[in-house]
A and B are shown apart, each in its own frame.
Chain A
Amino acid sequence: MRIRIRFSKHGKVRFTSHRDVARIFQRVLRRAGLPVAYSQGFSPRPKIAFGLALSTGHESEAEYLDIDLDPERTDGLEMGDLPARLSNELPEGMAVTAAVVIDRRTASLQQAVTSCTWQIDVVDTDANTVAGAVARALAAETLVVTRERKGREVTDDLRPGVLSLDVEGPVEAEEDEGSRVRLVAELATKPRALRVSELLGALDPPLIEHRVLRLHQWTTNETDARQRSNPLNAAASALVGAT
């Protein structure tokens, strides 16, 4: 039996890495007594699969995790209790917000997710400058950057990956730091995941991130590319369809 959960990550724990989060979940699942299935072999590992890695320092409303359960031990497992049961064991700042049973044939998170929506607060730049940079980027046909890959310089056009980009206006910042400009961007994850820092670096003038929050991960309906959904709904409806 496979389940998919959604969890959030806020506050101090945002400084843990993707690997840290994997380790945290391994322990949390044991503490919560979930009947997780283990791999065979010399070093048995819990069968869990994460989606796209979240950069260290970024927060999220929408992280996902697939967990295989041992079917022989799932009697009496209440899916409705799961979010609270797991959240109880998670460190402060992390919480499981939803859990569903999914079909084993459901595409993995890595495969299924095609884009993410990000909320980006940028470091001390006035609203007009930000608005100008955004307008120029949206008007441009290409956003070419050069980067190093395996010791070689490669050029990349980021523009196709920028599915949307909006200025959400200044927001009140903490303490006496004045106000901050907030952007909301939907960035593609295929063919490769476009990173927030790459986008900001490619703007003119380049901007620097202050706080970044992943708001959504999106999957695209195979038959209708304009219909997108989140990985939970997509998987759950697939299961309904399957039964």
Chain B
Amino acid sequence: MSLWPRLENLLPQVQKPARYIGCEQGAQAPTHGAGIVSWLLTYPDTYEIGLPNQGLQILYEILNERDDAAAERAYSPWTDLEALLRREKIPLFSVDTHRPAGVFDVIAFNLSAELTYTNLLNCIDLAGVPIHSTARADSEPLIGVGGHCTYNPEPIADFVDFVVLGDGEEVVGEITEIVREWKDTGRFDGSRRSVLRELAKVAGVYVPSMYQVAYDGAFIAEVTPRFADVPATVEKRTVADLADWPYPKQQLVPLTEVVHDRLSVEVFRGCTRGCRFCQAGMITRPVRERPAEQVRTMISDGLARTGYDEVALTSLSTADFSGIRQVIGETISDAGCDQVSVALPSLRVDAFTVGIAAEIQRARRTGLTFAPEAGSWRMRQVINKLIREEDLYGAVESAYSQGWRRMKLYFLTGLPTETDEDTLGIAELARNCVALGRRHHSSPSVTVSVGGFVPKPFTPFQWFGQNTVVELSRKIGLLRDDLRQNKGVQLKWHDPKATLAEGITSRGDRRLGPVIEYVWRKGGTFQEWSEHFNYDLWLEAMAASGCDVDWYVHRHRTDDEVLPWDHLSAGLHKDFLWQDWRDSLNELGLEDCRWTPCYDCGACTGYGIEHVVASTSPPAGGSQGTGVDLSQGGAVPVVLGKRPRAESNGDDPQPRRLVGVG
């Protein structure tokens, strides 16, 4: 069954062959056979990007722990290997035992970015499976997808058999049981439709072919289930308590370099800061913290088992974890003299957070990254990123005074109601940060990274018409002109054309299937990679399929419009989102419901769950969502006078740890 003997003759001809061999610490070679449902967990991008994906690793372990399941992994082969595979007629393969993808019962993809959709089609095709779900035979694998993009799976509805909404930990078992029964009864002719129908009844599982879309001109009239026993609305799955799921227990340690090559411990899931542009924050509510004791065990066991010298504490905003300071302190003292570093991938913008960073990054203070997201207080109220200038300057001042020299600031442009004044506020903030830095260093540097805003489903901005490529380019141009004279500020920006392509798929409907297929058929894979991204191909595909870019991307939606994902639910009430959209336009900030009363967004109330947060009070420092008087936000003047230099604590003669903050 193994394709290895054929593959090994090809590998000397490709770049980085180690990404195709498997052999990672933690890799498994599960038993396949009757009564065992085989899953091929696939990431539709390169191994380097896909291997660290925690979602796939968690499911890999949970499935392999079951007697009735076997899980292996696959990743998109790079273009050089793909060409050889196609020439030699070798299908997509698992890296664990190098089995052909087509022999698995389920091929399940993690979709974290819309621009990987063409790679999804490419993997299905390389597996030897028809790309259209309607063309698949009973003997062929079921194609499933999960991950953040699947909250609007309509653009890929033609290509997938089932979609999982939300946390996968519990639902993969339920799916396995249904597929096992199908397998046991011999997958007789025509049984594929009945297994899909069974799957459609599982909470959190959406089977696109069981729903029918009716149109009213260009608009969707309604999406209705084809059968009475198929639910009208598919609700997401939410794991109530992370303490029940201490996974991954055996994180995969790759033999070759990957992104985020370190131990990862998820400290909490969900975020209720309420940033209105942030889909991740909206769809993963409520906040579920892992018990500190479990975090500590996962760190120490994980470090001992893997041999990693760095651990990342992951979440959407790790400084918000109750007792973060203590956990970090313990990690560092547990590790003793073993040079362990701690990384906080998402820093909050305030001095408190910088203080934490300072504790874990005694050595090598090179750069820190903050995400104020918008250049003016008005704009930040619109997007509910309630960071006052005082917070940012406090954080930056504190960082410079403690030895960091380079700051990276992330911003979005093309936000609702954004004026040129708001855009130019970005330059102003950056200049002020450099000025603060001059008090501590002769040549401080600030990198400003600007991304074009793409409205996402299940956010208050889902009704907003995305800025055009021309408008985004104009705004970036404004910043370039304004910053031209400024030494110390580097401006970087995301290609507005890629932002447009993302916008097409982000809020599209089923009529976009042919567009994605067109781009794929013309060789448009790896669209996340700037060297492969092909803007003209997307426009050509839209035109060829009779889809209007303006209508799909740049048009504001109204409250009575049926959105393509209205039959799916992330728990959030549509009227909560609409109210939040109105509040946004009125520049009204909303506090974090973790520490203040509930707004009944639906994420807890609808599912009978609640926040799991150890501390009942907000973290020290910073104003974001902590109930301080928000009206004073923009009024804090920046005084650039001389201040006493902060006591340096960077004089530890034997630096014990390094860190990858930012």
Do A and B make up one complex? yes
Question: CB within 8 Å of B: which residues of A?
Answer: 12-13, 15-17, 19-20, 23-24, 26-31, 38, 40-44, 56-57, 89, 91-93, 174-175
User: Are A28's CB and B307's CB within 8 A?
Assistant: yes
Majority SS at the chain B contact face: loop
Mask: chain B, 10-22; 1 = CB below 8 Å from A; 0 = not: 0110000110111
User: Are A29's CB and B21's CB within 8 A?
Assistant: no
Contacts of B339 in A (CB 8 A): 38, 44
A136 CA to B591 CA, complexed, in Å: 83
Query: Does residue B256 face the partner (Cβ distance < 8 Å to A)?
Result: yes
User: Are A17's CB and B308's CB within 8 A?
Assistant: no
User: Are A31's CB and B304's CB within 8 A?
Assistant: yes
User: Are A44's CB and B655's CB within 8 A?
Assistant: yes
Q: Taking the nearest CB of chain B, how far is it from the CB of A20, in angstroms? A: 5
Q: Taking the nearest CB of chain B, how far is it from the CB of A13, in angstroms? A: 6
User: Are B306's CB and A16's CB within 8 A?
Assistant: no
Which range holds the interface residue count of chain B? 20 to 34
With A43-B363, A43-B364, A92-B23 in contact, is A57–B255 under 8 Å at CB? no
Q: Taking the nearest CB of chain A, how far is it from the CB of B456, in angstroms? A: 37
Q: Taking the nearest CB of chain B, how far is it from the CB of A61, in angstroms? A: 19
Instruction: Pick from A28, A30, A57: contact of B12, CB below 8 A.
Output: A57
With A16-B256, A91-B255 in contact, is A31–B306 under 8 Å at CB? yes
User: Are B363's CB and A16's CB within 8 A?
Assistant: no
Contacts of A56 in B (CB 8 A): 17-18
Instruction: Pick from A20, A31, A92: contact of B256, CB below 8 A.
Output: A20
Output the residue of A29, A30, A41, A175 with the most chain B CB within 10 A: A30
Chosen A-B contacts, 5 in total, with CB atoms closer than 8 Å, are A12-B4, A12-B8, A19-B257, A26-B307, A43-B364
Mask: chain B, 223-260; 1 = CB below 8 Å from A; 0 = not: 00000000000000000000000000000010111000
User: Are A91's CB and B25's CB within 8 A?
Assistant: yes
Query: Does residue B181 face the partner (Cβ distance < 8 Å to A)?
Result: no
Q: 3 tightest CB-CB pairs across the interface, nearest first?
A: A27-B307, A30-B307, A31-B307
A28 CA to B309 CA, complexed, in Å: 11
Q: Taking the nearest CB of chain B, how far is it from the CB of A68, in angstroms? A: 15
Contacts of B330 in A (CB 8 A): none
Instruction: Pick from B5, B22, B304: contact of A174, CB below 8 A.
Output: B5
Q: Taking the nearest CB of chain B, how far is it from the CB of A221, in angstroms? A: 36
* B254-313, CB < 8 A from A: 255-257, 304-309
Query: Does residue B90 face the partner (Cβ distance < 8 Å to A)?
Result: no
Contacts of A44 in B (CB 8 A): 339, 655-656, 658
Contacts of A23 in B (CB 8 A): 257
A19 CA to B308 CA, complexed, in Å: 16
Contacts of A12 in B (CB 8 A): 4, 8, 21-23
Contacts of A15 in B (CB 8 A): 11, 17-18, 20-21
User: Are B655's CB and A42's CB within 8 A?
Assistant: yes
User: Are A17's CB and B256's CB within 8 A?
Assistant: yes
Instruction: Pick from A30, A43, A57, A175: contact of B338, CB below 8 A.
Output: A30
Contacts of A26 in B (CB 8 A): 307, 309
| Closest chain A residue to B255, Cβ basis | A16
A30 CA to B338 CA, complexed, in Å: 9
Q: Taking the nearest CB of chain A, how far is it from the CB of B605, in angstroms? A: 46
Contacts of A13 in B (CB 8 A): 21, 23, 255
Contacts of A89 in B (CB 8 A): 307
Instruction: Supply 6 further A-B pairs (C-beta < 8 A) apart from A15-B18, A44-B655.
Output: A16-B256, A20-B255, A26-B309, A27-B306, A43-B363, A57-B12
With A27-B307, A42-B364, A175-B5 in contact, is A17–B655 under 8 Å at CB? no
Query: Does residue B530 face the partner (Cβ distance < 8 Å to A)?
Result: no
Query: Does residue B649 face the partner (Cβ distance < 8 Å to A)?
Result: no
| Closest chain A residue to B29, Cβ basis | A92
Contacts of B658 in A (CB 8 A): 42-44
A57 CA to B10 CA, complexed, in Å: 11
A89 CA to B304 CA, complexed, in Å: 12
Contacts of A38 in B (CB 8 A): 339
Contacts of A30 in B (CB 8 A): 307-309, 338
A174 CA to B338 CA, complexed, in Å: 46
Contacts of B257 in A (CB 8 A): 19-20, 23
| Closest chain B residue to A28, Cβ basis | B307
* B4-62, CB < 8 A from A: 4-5, 8, 11-12, 17-18, 20-25
| Closest chain B residue to A58, Cβ basis | B12
Instruction: Pick from B304, B309, B363: contact of A42, CB below 8 A.
Output: B363
Q: Taking the nearest CB of chain A, how far is it from the CB of B653, in angstroms? A: 9
User: Are B17's CB and A57's CB within 8 A?
Assistant: yes
Output the residue of B25, B307, B339 with the most chain A CB within 10 A: B307
